[in-house]
Chain A
């Protein structure tokens, strides 16, 4: 890979690192729990992007599995936390019961 693309990818990684730092500030110092969850979801997406850039830099195609895995598990985790915030529990036994 030529030098120009290397420089571009390193600049992109530094930019993603700055964005992840700002998102981690929002994760630590979010005023409410909702802010923390949205920041954690965005952090997962940025982690996927960073791993994509790294897989180009390392010249390997085995990291694509990791990207899809982070996407799916991050989506499931965010949905679980959103349901916990809305209802107070994550898994309900019977949806249609009257209580």
Chain B
């Protein structure tokens, strides 16, 4: 149909949008999956979940957008480089135990502190949380990098 129109002399042929259901549902379900992934990540200390499952589910949400749209749109939506995501995740996962080593603890001794945030007030922060955030970023970045490279786009 399109090539016939182009042979007839039309320069620009607008592509017919015929996957409206998929794009609308993926736009709605993206936020629900992302919310559930963040819930899994933050509840990982007391209930099942953690950085690995949260990262995998976040990358599943982004893959849903990638299936419904294309790589160019995803690069416009998320202007991050996934190699940098892997590197920052590994830096967090290695930098937190190394930073705690300077306070006199042995390597990988996690500590519990209470910090004061401007809006939330005083909350407890265990230093395993930045380590888990590093696992989250590494898993999410490597999964998305694998899928985009296998899909044929260059990063």
Contacts and interface: CB of A to CB of B under 8 A. Distances in A.
Interface in A52-99: 62, 65-66, 68-69, 72-73, 75-76, 79-80, 83, 90-96, 98
Interface of B: 2, 6, 13, 15, 22, 26, 29, 33, 36, 40, 47-49, 53, 57, 60, 63-64, 66-73, 147-148, 151-153
Contacts of B36: 68, 72
Interface of A: 62, 65-66, 68-69, 72-73, 75-76, 79-80, 83, 90-96, 98
B70 A90 contact: no
A32 to B, nearest CB: 21
Contacts of B63: 76, 80
Contacts of A92: 70-71
A98 B3 CA distance: 9
A93 B67 contact: no
Given A62-B48, A72-B33, A96-B15, A79 B69 contact: no
B18 to A, nearest CB: 10
Given A72-B36, A79-B22, A96-B15, A91 B66 contact: yes
Nearest to A79: B67
A69 B53 contact: yes
19 contacts: A65-B40, A65-B48, A68-B36, A72-B60, A79-B26, A79-B67, A83-B22, A83-B67, A91-B66, A91-B67, A91-B147, A92-B70, A93-B71, A93-B153, A94-B70, A95-B72, A98-B2, A98-B6, A98-B13
Nearest to A90: B67
Contacts of A66: 48
Contacts of A90: 67, 151
